[in-house]
Amino acid sequence: MSFAVTLQTLRKEAGLTQEQLASKFGVSAQAVSKWENGSFPEGDLIPKIADQFGVSIDYLYGREEKKASLEQQVVRGLNAVWKEEKDHKEATKKFMEKLHRILWAFQIAGWSENPDYFDRPCVAEKSGELDSAILNSFGYSFMRMNQNHEWYLFLKQPDCEEGFLKWFEGAGKIVPMIKLLSDPESVRVLLYMYTLNNHEFAGAETVSKETGISKEKAAETLNKLTSEIGVCNHPLYRISIMKGSGKEETVYGINKTLSGLLLGVVALLDTYCNAADSYSMHINNREESWIKHLPD
């Protein structure tokens, strides 16, 4: 593209009028209009225009492609896995590992004095816990790094006046799930459901036989997981099938989309109750409290 077309495109992408762009360089709107119609700015303005739009001088003159944004580079980097690896299962594994490395990059980027990427520490499973944490006025991120216990959490500070207190508005709705997780028999029923694959369902009688829990207790737990817990979506699916005798039987299957959340809850609570004895990185720039005031 010509300089004129490139400049006009950049200006419009930035949501600037000719008058607004002109004011940034101390020139008239008529001058910008002339630039976009074939003339050129004074030589000393060229670098300033390039800096304004975050592009190179060569790009302004159509001699190189526009540098992709960081977000676009991340997408392309991750997407490349699918083209590099033919085996889908192996590609999926590499994708998740590459994603994990990028999440670690987000963590170390929070250290303003460190401009370079370095691999996350390899922490043996039986060694002391090692975590990474960043907390400031705009959010919180946490990464657990021990082998077979690796996970990442990011919380964006709510923009509303209530802040994180806003998240506690629906806290009462989680009580049934907390009660279920505090009951070993109910947990055993839930764990059995996690052994089922997609499109596999089991009734209370089968669950009872596989877990050693009474049929009544199994039925009670399964019912809670499909009615009391959740509103539009529940941890389990429930369907009715007709047996040969014409009688109806209720069977249950795991909601795979939501099931990973429970694993996250367990990981969070375990980490909260068994805090790390050291940190690979710890940045604490949060001065204010997490919650400004108690609810009315």
- Residue 37 maps to a domain: yes
In sequence order, what are the beta bridge partners of 262? none
**Exposure of 160 in the CB half-sphere (CA atoms within 13 A):** 6
Residue 202 vs residue 14, higher pLDDT: 202
Give SS3 for 126: coil
Q: For residue 295, is pLDDT > 90?
A: no
- Residue 148 maps to a domain: yes
d(CA 45, CA 61): 14
Point out the least confidently predicted range of 46-55, 198-207, 217-226: 46-55
Structural domain range at position 127: 72-168+280-284
> What's the pLDDT tens digit per position in 112-147?
888 899 998 888 877 777 899 999 999 999 999 888
Q: Is 216 in the same domain as 243? A: yes
Q: For residue 210, is pLDDT > 90?
A: yes
Which pLDDT does position 72 carry in this prediction?
Answer: 79
Q: In angstroms, how far apart are the furthest CA atoms of the chain?
A: 90
Confidence of residue 214 (pLDDT cuts 50, 70, 90): very high
Task: Give φ, ψ of 82 to 5 degrees.
Answer: -65, -25
Q: Is 160 in the same domain as 178? A: no
> What's the pLDDT tens digit per position in 220-259?
999 999 999 988 899 999 999 887 766 788 999 999 999 9
Q: Is 159 in the same domain as 80? A: yes
Please list, in sequence order, all residues whose beta carbon lies within 8 angstroms of the beta carbon of residue 122, skipping any fewer than 6 positions away: 147
Confidence of residue 66 (pLDDT cuts 50, 70, 90): low
Give SS3 for 2: coil
The mean pLDDT value for 5-9 works out to: 91
d(CA 119, CA 273): 27
Of 70, 72, 9, 5, residue with least CA distance to 35: 5
Question: Looking at residue 241, which CATH number applies to its domain?
Answer: 1.10.10.10
Q: Is 88 in the same domain as 148? A: yes
- Residue 108 maps to a domain: yes
Looking at 60, 82, 100, the residue that finishes a domain is 60
Contact 129, 280 (CB under 8 A): no
Question: Looking at residue 24, which CATH number applies to its domain?
Answer: 1.10.260.40
Q: For residue 65, is pLDDT > 80?
A: no
- Residue 293 maps to a domain: no
Q: Is 160 in the same domain as 180? A: no
Point out the least confidently predicted range of 9-23, 58-72, 176-190, 202-216: 58-72
- Residue 273 maps to a domain: no
